[in-house]
Amino acid sequence: MNIESLLIHGGVDGDERTGAVNIPIFQTSTYKQPGFGINKGYEYSRTSNPTREALEKLISDLEGGYAGYAFASGMAAITAVISLFNSGDKILISDNLYGGTFRVLDKVFKNFNIFYEIINTTNLDAIRENIDETVKAILIETPTNPLMDITDIEGVAKISKERSILTIVDNTFMTPYLQRPLDFGADIVVHSATKYLGGHSDLVAGLVIVNNEELSEKLHFIQNSTGGVLGPFDSFLLIRGIKTLAVRMDRHNSNTKKIAEFLRTREEVNKVYYPGFEDHVGYEIQKKQARGFGGVISFILKDNVDYKKFVESLKLITFGESLGGVESLVCHPASMTHGSIPYEIRQKVGIVENLIRLSVGIENSEDVIEDLENAFREVRKND
Ligand SMILES: *Cc1c(COP(=O)(O)O)cnc(C)c1O
């Protein structure tokens, strides 16, 4: 089945008992056991719940995985994945990735002697050079948040296999509609489903997909033991959001291309980070491993442009955290999504003060461009 159809019919397609076309919300914590050792496959909803299970089967089908697991947030999902490792292990991470992922490694797991090393994962030689016997995994985002660096998933997975370590890909920015990391040899995919998969800025959720039985058993054990599970109602909402992913992503893709090109023509803008530009260093790799460039653009305003005034002058585009919703959202990474990364590291990787991240929604692109034009006009009033 093609992915557009799988988004709608994958996982558990409707309710067998009643014929309802949507999976019901099984809002229950426990299940009646007719006798000792007898149950219908469910005992307690932390361990399994039919609505959550339908979502987990769906995301596993979409990513081409062995099994999927749903968590209360992207960070709960990432925390579960890092819980696979032991004291003394080290994880290599991309040099600009979601601030919360850096924070949980730096402020939580480091205290348990699970270490990380920041490297430029776009450079496969840098990865090779940094693998010693303590390194047990490489965690990449591609494109990265917020600078849209592209890492060659197949290249990383090849190195990981040679060294018998795991490749973990945060696929939040692409979704399985645009990119399926397991097809390129990754072992684990994580999502902040809060973003494109949910798509409507109305829920917080995380997903993990694994490519084999051994990882699946470990992940389910961690999910059940640590308990950061997604509730039945949010599982239902996420299934509902996923059904329209294909049409939303197509519009995100086309709108974003237009807006990236518009931003590039503006004299107030110093640099635009968008992997859909043919002169982006990762363009060819992106074309090889994904079927679109996604809905996020970051750009640096010129030093003489008041970035606060620019952001506050936007009317249609909402100023706020998050991305991937139907509405356009703008954020200031240095003080918001990436504020937990120390100043020196931010400067080093390029998350500078006048960097703006734009998550392009599915509105009419002309309206979004007009809003940006108005904001540029406002900041020029100062001149
Ligand atoms: C938002 C985000 C996360 C964290 O997910 P939450 O659902 O906010 O916990 C992780 N990775 C990426 C790339 C994100 O954008």
Report the C-alpha gap between 314 and 299 in whole angstroms: 15
Q: Are residues 330 and 188 in the same domain?
A: no
**234 part of the active site:** no
What's the domain count of the chain? 2
111-167 residue pLDDT tens: 999 999 999 999 999 999 999 999 999 999 999 989 999 999 999 999 999 999 999
Q: What is the pLDDT of residue 3?
A: 97
**Structural tokens at position 290:** 């994904």
Q: Is the CB of 73 under 6 A from ligand 1?
A: yes
CB-CB contact of 258 with 364 (8 Å) = no
Mutate to test the pocket of ligand 1, among 172, 202, 230, 321 (most ligand atoms within 8 A of CB): 172
CA of 191 to the centre of ligand 1 (A): 7
Output the DSSP codes for 25-93: ----SB---SBTTB-SS-SBTTT--HHHHHHHHHHHHHHT-SEEEEESSHHHHHHHHHTTS-TT-EEEE
Domain closes at, from 243, 272, 303? 243
The residue contributing the CA closest to ligand 1 atom 5 is: 74
CB-CB contact of 39 with 250 (8 Å) = no
Q: Are residues 181 and 114 in the same domain?
A: yes
Q: Is the CB of 331 under 6 A from ligand 1?
A: no
Give residue 274's domain range. Answer: 247-379
Q: Are residues 231 and 309 in the same domain?
A: no
Q: What is the pLDDT of residue 382?
A: 57
Q: Are residues 165 and 231 in the same domain?
A: yes
Q: Are residues 183 and 42 in the same domain?
A: yes
Q: Are residues 185 and 283 in the same domain?
A: no
Q: Are residues 231 and 134 in the same domain?
A: yes
What's 182's domain CATH number? 3.40.640.10
**283 part of the active site:** no
What's 314's domain CATH number? 3.90.1150.10
CA of 204 to the centre of ligand 1 (A): 9
Q: Is the CB of 234 under 6 A from ligand 1?
A: no
**46 part of the active site:** yes
Q: Are residues 209 and 110 in the same domain?
A: yes
Q: Are residues 252 and 137 in the same domain?
A: no
Q: Are residues 24 and 162 in the same domain?
A: yes
In percent, how much of the chain has pLDDT > 70? 99
Neighbours of 216 (CB within 10 A): 19
Q: Which atom of ligand 1 is nearest to the CA of 78?
A: 10
Strand partners, 166: 137
63-121 residue pLDDT tens: 999 999 999 999 999 999 999 999 999 999 998 889 999 999 999 999 999 999 999 99
Q: Are residues 32 and 141 in the same domain?
A: yes
Domain closes at, from 197, 227, 243? 243
Report the C-alpha gap between 231 and 276 in whole angstroms: 37
Q: Is the CB of 172 under 6 A from ligand 1?
A: yes
Q: Which atom of ligand 1 is nearest to the CA of 101?
A: 10
Residue 226: which H helix or E strand, with range? helix 213-226
Q: Are residues 137 and 224 in the same domain?
A: yes
Domain closes at, from 194, 225, 243? 243
Residues 186-193, mean pLDDT to the nearest whole number: 98
Q: Is the CB of 201 under 6 A from ligand 1?
A: no
Report the C-alpha gap between 270 and 42 in whole angstroms: 56
302-358 residue pLDDT tens: 999 999 999 999 999 999 999 999 999 999 999 998 888 889 989 888 899 999 999
Question: Which of 118, 68, 70 has the alpha carbon at shortest distance from 91?
Answer: 118
